Structure 1
Amino acid sequence: MDSTSPVIYVVEPYGGSIRRHNPALPLIFWDDAAVTRGDGVFETLLIRDGHPANLRRHMERFQASARLLDLREPSADDWIDATRQAVEEWTARTGEDAKCVWTYTRGRESTGIPSAWITLSPINERVLRQRESGVSVMTSPRGFTIDTSLPGVDEATEGGSPEPAPWLTVGAKTLNYAANMAALRHARSRGFDDVIYIDPGTGRVLEGATSTVIAVRKERKLRTPVPGGEVLPGTTQAALFEYAERQGWRCRAKDMTVERLLDAESVWLVSSVRVATRVTAIDGHPLPAPANEAEVRELINAALGAE
C-alpha cells in the first residue's frame, strides 16, 4: 500500500468492536453532526518512533472536551487500543512520523449514536519546513471574546465540571475550527505564516491559531500565557514545562504582551505535530536566532518523549 495513504480505524463509542476502515470508502453519513454543525471534539497526536507522544495528556483533554459537550466520556482503553493497532500498521509500512487524529462526534441526527474514528496520515510538507525554518507571524484579535465573569468559566476552561454554564465549550478542542483556518488563510494572504491572537482590550497575548505560545527568557526561563478563558491548555506546553523544570529551567504561566515577546531571547509556537517552531518575526519585527536555539529545540523534542 502507498505510504501516503491514511490508516483509519473506527471505534465503537459505547464499547465493542474496533475495525479498520478502507480509506477509499465513505465513512460519514449526510446527517452526522460533524458535517452539519461541527458538533464534536478531536485531538491531534504525534506518532514518533512507533509511539503516540504525550498520550496521557491528550487522553485527559479528549475526555474533558467530551464532558464539556455533554458527550459520553470516551473509553481510554478502547481509544488507546485502536491507536496502537493503527500505529502498528503505520510503522510496518514506514518509519516516518505521522499525524494521528482522534475524532468523536455527536453522530447521526437520525440515530443519535456518536461517530468515532482514528486517522493516521503523513505530516504535511509545510509543517516539516516550518519546523526547520520557523514562521513569521502577525498579531490579531481573535474576533470574539469570552466573558470570563460568567459563572463556571474557570471550571469549564480547565476541563472540570461544566456546571453551571454547560454551554461553554471554550475549554474543549471542538471540530468547529473554521475561524482558526480563516485566520491562517488571512495571515498567508498578507505574507505571514501564522497568527498569534491578542486580547484587543488589554494587549494580552493569548495563543496561536493552532498552537501554544512559549517565550524563552534569559537565565533559563520559559513563559507561556495563562491558560483558561480564551486560552486552550496546551498538551505540548504542559509536557515541556514538566520536563524542563526537571532540567533546571524555571517555567511559569504568566500574562504577556507583544512587547514581552519582542524582548524575549526567542519565541516558539508549540503543538503536537509541528512540535517546535521558532517565530522569526512578529508583525514584521525580526527575531534573530538565539545562541541557544538548538538547546531549546532539543528540550522541546525531548519533552515529548519524557513520559
Structure 2
Amino acid sequence: MALNSPSPVVLQVEPFGGSTRRHNTSLPHLYWDDAAVTRGEGVFETLLIHDGKVANFQRHMKRLQASATQLGLAVPDAEHWGQAAAEAAADWCGQIPGKKKPQAAMTWTLTGGRASTGVPSAWITVRALSDTQLKQREEGVAVMTAERGFSFQISPTKKQKPWVSLAAKSLNYTAAMAALREGRAQGFDDVLWVEGDRVLEAATSSVVIVKKDKRLRSPEPAGEIIAGTAVAALFELGEKKGWRCKHKELSVSDLYEAESVWLLSSVRMGARVTRINDKELGSPGKDSLKAVRGLIEEALTR
C-alpha cells in the first residue's frame, strides 16, 4: 500500500434503515458482547471500487441478503445499503485530488449484534488495495492443493442440513486463514481446496479455467462451493462476447491441461495460476492472455 494512500473509511450503518455515521478509525466500535466477536456470527461481502463507484453492486447485495437469510440475520435493505455504500465510496475518493480515482476495496459487514440488546451491527469499510493484491494481478500466483478435511456432499435421497452448508459468506474464515498461513510457510501464494482429485475453490476466491476455442469452465457452486459473484459477472459478459461458459466438475488434471487457470475475486480480480504444487503451468500465448485479462477486467469493473 502506498505511503500516501487515502486513510481508510469506516461508516457505521443502521441495519434497518436510517442514519449512517463516519467512525474514527483510531477508535474501536464493537461492543464486548457482539455476536461477531463472541460467536463469529455474521456475514460480509468485499467489493471493488472502480472510478469512484461500487462495481457489481446487485450481485453482492443479493448474496449478502441470501447469506443473512441463511444465518437468520436481519435482511439488508438494498436501497439503504446502496446509499451507504455510495457515501462511503465518496468519502474515500474525496481524499484524492483530481478526477482519476484509484481502485479500492469495500467491505460490508453485518453481525448478529449485541446479546444484551439483540440489535444487529453493521458497517462498511473502504481501504486502498494492497501491494500484494496488485502484484498477484500482474504476476500470478503459485498454489498448493489441500483437502478441507470434511465433505458436505449430499446423496439424492437426503436434504442438506442448513447448519453444515457453506453457501453463506460468513465471518467464519478460520480454516481458510489457517490454510493460507500453512501454504505461505511452504512458499505458496494461495491454497486450492480439493476433495480427492475434485477441484472445489480457492481459500478466498473462485477457480476458472480457460480452454481452447474460447471456453470458460468453473466448478458448480453448491454445498461446499460458494457462489462467486466474480465468476457470475465473467460468465455473463463472456457469453455476450462469444465465449462458451459453463459450470462443470473439474479435476486437478483438468487444471494441468487447461490453456490457463485463474483465481477470481472481486478485488484481486484475476490472478493467473503459474504453479500448482511442484508443477509449473505453461504460459498461454500473448493474445489469449490479453483477451482473458481484458474480459475479467471489464466484467469485474462494471
Q: Which TM-score applies when normalising by structure 2? A: 0.94
SS in structure 2 at match of 1:113: coil
Q: Secondary structure at the match of 1:136?
A: strand
Residue identity in the other structure for 2:301: G
* Equivalent position of 1:48 in the other structure: 50
2:134 is equivalent to residue 128 of structure 1: yes
Q: What is the CA–CA distance in structure 2 between the aligned matches of 1:33 and 1:84, rounded to whole Å? A: 27
Task: Tell me which moved more, 210-219 or 72-81.
Answer: 72-81
User: How many angstroms does 1:205 deviate by?
Assistant: 0.4
Shift of 1:152: 4.4
Q: What SS class does the counterpart of residue 40 from structure 2 fall into? A: coil
Deviation digits for residues 82-125 of structure 1 (CA, Å, limit 9, x no counterpart): 11001111111132211100000001111111100000011111
Matches within 5 A, 1:155-304: 165-200=161-196, 203-291=197-285, 292-304=288-300
RMSD value, Cα: 1.3
Q: Tell me if 1:34 matches 2:36.
A: yes
- 2:14: which partner in 1? 12
Instruction: Flag the 1:222–1:70 CA change in 2: closer, same or farther, 3 A.
Output: same
Preserved contact between residue 152 and residue 164 of structure 2 (Cα < 8 Å): no
TM-score normalised to the size of structure 1? 0.92
TM superposition shift of 1:72? 1.7
Q: Is contact 2:48-2:301 (8 Å) kept?
A: no
Q: Number of residues paired by the alignment?
A: 292
Say if 2:137 and 2:272, in contact at 8 Å, map to a contact too: yes
For the 8 Å contact 1:68–1:169, the answer to whether it is kept is: no
User: Letter of the aligned partner of 1:17 in structure 2?
Assistant: S
Q: In 2 relative to 1, CA 143–166 (structure 1 residues): closer, same or farther, beyond 3 Å?
A: closer
CA contact under 8 A between 1:107 and 1:114: conserved in structure 2? yes
Quote the Cα distance in structure 1 between the aligned partners of 2:281 and 2:177.
Answer: 25
How much has 1:169 moved relative to structure 2? 4.1
Alignment correspondent of 2:125: 119
Q: For the residues of structure 1 that align with 2:5 and 2:292, how far apart are their CA atoms?
A: 31
Paired residue for 2:88? 86
Gapped regions of structure 2 (runs ≥ 5): none
Which residue of 56, 59, 82 maps to 1:57? 59
Percentage of pairs with the same residue = 52
State the Cα distance separating 1:301 from its structure 2 match: 0.4
Deviation at 1:167, TM superposition (A): 2.6
2:104 to 98, 110, 124: 98
Aligned to 2:71: 69
Structure 1: stretches of 5+ with no match in the other structure: 154-164
